[in-house]
Amino acid sequence: MLASSLLANYCTGLHDDQAHRVDKYLHHLQLSDETLMDVSIRFRREMDKGLCRDTNSTAAVKMLPTFVRSTPDGTEQGEFLALDLGGSTFRVLLVKVMAGGKQKVEMENLIYAIPEHLMRGSGSELFDHIADCLANFLEKFGIKDKKLPLGFTFSFPCQQTKLDESVLVSWTKGFRLSGVEGQDVVSLLRKAIKKRGDFDVDIMAVINDTVGAMMTCGYDDHHCEIGLIVGTGTNACYMEQMRNLELLDGDEGRMCVNTEWGAFGDDGALEDLRTDIDREIDAGSLNPGKQLFEKMISGMYMGELVRLILVKMAKEQLLFQGKTTAELLTTGSFNTSYIYAIENDKEGLASAETVLRGLGLDPSVEDCVATQRVCQIVSTRAAHLCAATLVAVLRQIRDNKAAEKLRTTIGVDGSVYKNHPEFSRRLHKMVRRLVPDCDVRFLRSEVGSGKGAAMVTAVAYRLATQHAERQGILDTLRLSREQLLEVKKRMSEAMVRGLSKQTYEQATVKMLPTYVRSTPDGTEHGDFLALDLGGSSFRVLLVRVRSGKRHNVDMHHKIYSIPQETMQGTGEELFSHIVYCIGDFLEYMGMRGASLPLGFTFSFPCHQSKLDQGILLNWTKGFKASGCVGQDVVTLLKDAVRRKGEFDLNFVAVVNDTVGTMMTCGYEDPRCEVGLIVGTGTNVCYMEEMQNIEVLEGDDGRMCVNMEWGAFGDNGEVDDFFTQFDRIVDDCSNNPGKQRYEKMISGMYLGEIVRNVLIDFTAKGLLFRGKLSERLKTRGIFETKFLSQIESDRLAMRQVRSILQHLGLTGSTCDDSVLVKEVCSVVARRAAQLCGAGLAAVVDKIRQNRNLQQLSITVGVDGTLYKTHPHFSSIMQETLQDLAPQCKVTFHKSEDGSGKGAALITAVACRVKRGGQH
C-alpha cells in the first residue's frame, strides 16, 4: 500500500505531467466559454420551440405547464402530507404550516426503500407498495383516522392537465414499470389507497422535485423563481409569463414551467458536442436516444462516464499498464459517489487508490493522478453544461421582465449539487461569468422536495377552500332542471289567471289585449310616422311601405336621448320633450306641414280598450314621470302637440315594443306569432285565441296579447329562486317588490347583480385580496354591457382587466379576472334559462290552444341583451327546447327594432280600415 506521505512528495511534478496527458486525451470534454455561450443560445431556441403551440409536439425540450400559479403568500396553514418519489427511495412527510405573525413549518418524515424488482415490475405493484408505506406512516404518527390533504412529488416527465392530474410521459432514472406510461399517476395512487380501504387522503397536487425545490426555497425567499435539480437526474423549472405559454389559454400572470431539460439534444441539437463515450453510455442505457443532456450531467451516469474512459485508456495502454479487470468491465461498478471522494482536496488520491483496488486493479501513483483528473474533467463538464442552460433560463426571465439587471434566487436540490465537493462552486462561477448582468443567489433546498409538495398543497388547499366557498355562493344563482320546470309551470298558471275574468284583477301577469288582430299580408302601402319610446333614448321614424313585393320598406330615423331629470320629472315635461323631438325630425325631413298616420311604440304596461288608446298602468325601466299613471298616453301626446301648436298628427295605433317586434318579423316570416324583448327590460306578446281572452267580447279569431311578464313573481311566484343578491337589487330599485322576474333577466339589472356578488366575494376575502375599491361601491357602475364584453373576451382576459381597472381595481390579478368572468357567466346563464322557461310556457300554451302534437312557430326577438351577449340566445334556446320538446321554435332577430313594427301595425290598421270602407 502506498503511504499518503510518499504519495504527496511524488505528486506535484508527476501530477502536472500526468494531468496534462489526460487533458490532451480528453480535450473534447473541455468546453470553452464561447462553446458554452453557444450551448446557452441553442437551449434558449429549444425553450421557444417547447413554448410555441406549433412546434411543441416536435420539440425535444417539452416546457410542460405545471399548473402551479402562485407561490406561498404566508396565509397558508394546516397539516399536510407529502410523498416524495423520484429515485430508489421515497419519503413520506407530515408538514405543519403555521400562519400568523411568524411563518413556521414543522416536519416529521420517514424514508422507505423501493426494492429493485419493483422499479422494473408492474405499475400496480409499485403503487400498492407506496400505499402500504403511507399506511405505515399514518399508523406510526397516529393520524390514520384523519383525512389530510396530500401533495405528491413525482419526479418523472409528466404531462399535466390540472394540478392534481398528471400523465406519465416516460420513465427515467432507471425506472421501467409496465402499465404506467400514458396513465394519470394520481388516479393510480388513489386506486391503490382505495384498494386497501383502511385510510383516506385528499390528493390535491402532483409536482416534480424541481418545482418542489423552487417552492421550498420560495417559502423562505420571495425572490425564488427557478428550481434546479442535479442529482440522479437533472432538470429545471421557472416562473414563466402566461402570455408565452401558448399551449394554454389565458395570458395573465405566471405559471411554473417544468422544462424537462434532460431531453435537450434528443433531436440532434448537441451532436457536435457528444463524444464517443457519451454515445457508448447512451447505447447501454435503458432508454437509448433519450435524455441525452441528462446523460452528460447527472449522477446516474457520471460514474459510468468515468468508468468507460478508464476502460478506454487502459485498452490503449495509457493506464493500469494496459490491464483491465472483470470488475472494471462491469457496467455500473464505478459509483458516482466515488467521484465525490476522489475529488476531495486532502484525501482524493488515497480515495482513488482505494476505489481502484476495490475494482481489482493494482494502481500506480500515475494511475491515481490520472483517475482523479478524469473525474475532474467529467464533473466540470457537467457543471458547465448545467450553467449554460441555466443562463438561458435567466435571460428568458430577464427579458420577460424587461429588466436591466435581474435579481433572482435559484432553489437547488440533488445529490450531485450537495455532495460533490466542487460542483456547486464551478456551476456558480460559470453562471456569473456567462451572465455578469444577473445578480443570482443559489439557495440549497435543505429538506428536499417533500416540503415543496406540502407548500404547493398548502397553497392549493388555501385556493380550494376559497373556491369551495365561492362556488357555494354561486350555486344559489344556478338553477336545476326541476326548478326551471317549476318556473314554466308557474308561468302557465299565471297566464291563465291573467286571461280569466274572475282572477285578472289580482293577476301579476296582466295578459293585456292589444287590439292587434292580424299580421301584415303584404298589400299594405303608404308613408307612416312612428315613435319608439321604451328606454333612455327614443326614435322618430318615417317608414315608406310599398305593396306588391314583400319586404319593401324604406326607413329614415333619428335617435334622441331623454335626460334622467326628464325621465323622473313631470309627465308634461316628458311629453313636451317628445313633441319637440318630433318637430325637429319633421324639420330635418322637410315635412313640416304633412299630417301622416302615426304609430306610437310605447313600451310600458298599458291597458288598451282600443288600438289608438293606452292607459299607463305603471312605469318600469327607471321612468318615474308624475301625472301619467292611469292616463291615456295618446291623449297626453295630443295635448303636448296642441300646446306646441306647430303641426298636427293623425294617431292610429299605440303598441308596445314587443308587439312591434312581432309585427316586424311577421312581415318577413308569416309564422311569426310571438314577440320577445330582452333588453333594458323584458316582455313577451303572442297571438291568443279570442275565446280565451275572457275580458273581451267575441270568440272569433285571435288577438295579440301583451303579457307584461316582467311582473311575474310580484305575488311571490319566484321567491324560492330569489337570492340575497336579487333582494339587494330589488330593495335599491325605483320599484321595490315589482317586476321581479324582469329584475332577474333584463339588462337593466344584471350588472347590478354581478356587482353585488363581487362585493360579497371581496368582503369575504375571496376576491381582489379582500380590498374593495370605492368605485365598485357605486350603484350602476358595473354596466350590463360589461357582461357581454367580458364573456366575448377572446383576448385572454385583457377586456376583463381593463374593465376592472376602470372600476378602480388596479391591483387585480389574473385569478381575479377569471373569477369575475365566472360570476358574469353564472348570472347571465340564469337570466337566459329563466327566459327560456317562461317562453316554454308560452309556446306550449299556443300548441295546446290549437290541439297540436307538434307546433312549428317563429319568435321575433329584439333587445340589446339578446343581440349582444355571446351566449344568452343559445342558452335560452337550449332551455326552451328542453322544456317544450313538442314545439319546434325558430328565432328571428328583428333588425329594425320596434319602430318599424309600429308603422306596420299602423299600415295594417289603415289597410283594414280601407277594406271596411269598401
What sign has the CA pseudo-torsion 230, 453, 237, 434?
negative
Alpha helices in 645-689 (DSSP H): 657-668
CB atoms within 10 A of CB 141: 14
DSSP-based three-state secondary structure for 55: coil
Q: What does the DSSP 8-state code read for residue 773?
A: P
Cβ contacts of 857 within 8 Å, gap of 6 or more: 671, 672, 673, 674, 843, 846, 887, 888, 889, 890
Percent helix, strand, coil in the chain, to 5, is 45, 20, 35
The residue type of 640 is A
Q: What angle do CA 263, 268, 273 make, to 5 degrees?
A: 90
Cβ contacts of 816 within 8 Å, gap of 6 or more: 767, 768, 804, 809
CB 263 within 8 A of CB 56: no
DSSP-based three-state secondary structure for 154: strand
| Nearest Cα to Cα of residue 437 among 412, 409, 410, 407 | 407
| Nearest Cα to Cα of residue 580 among 606, 562, 603 | 562
Task: Give the DSSP letter string of 469-535.
Answer: HHHHHHHTT---HHHHHHHHHHHHHHHHHHHSTTTTTT-SS--EE--------S---EEEEEEEESS
Q: Cell 357582461 appears where?
A: 787
Q: Cell for 447?
A: 429538506
For residues 92 and 85, what is the distance between their CA atoms, to the nearest angstrom? 9
**Active-site amino acid positions:** 539, 603, 657
Length of the chain: 918
DSSP-based three-state secondary structure for 655: strand
Buried b (16+ CB within 10 A) or exposed e, 645-669: eebebebbbbbbbbbbbbbbbbbbe
| Strand stretches in 41-137, DSSP E | 64-65, 78-85, 89-98, 104-113
CB atoms within 10 A of CB 202: 14
Pairing of strands 254-258, 234-241: antiparallel
Cβ contacts of 345 within 8 Å, gap of 6 or more: 421
The residue type of 581 is C
Task: Give the DSSP letter string of 261-313.
Answer: GGGTTTTSTTTTT--HHHHHHHHTSSSTTSSTTGGGTSHHHHHHHHHHHHHHH
DSSP-based three-state secondary structure for 11: helix
CB 176 within 8 A of CB 119: yes
Q: Cell 417559502 appears where?
A: 219
CB 504 within 8 A of CB 498: yes
Pairing of strands 887-893, 234-241: unpaired
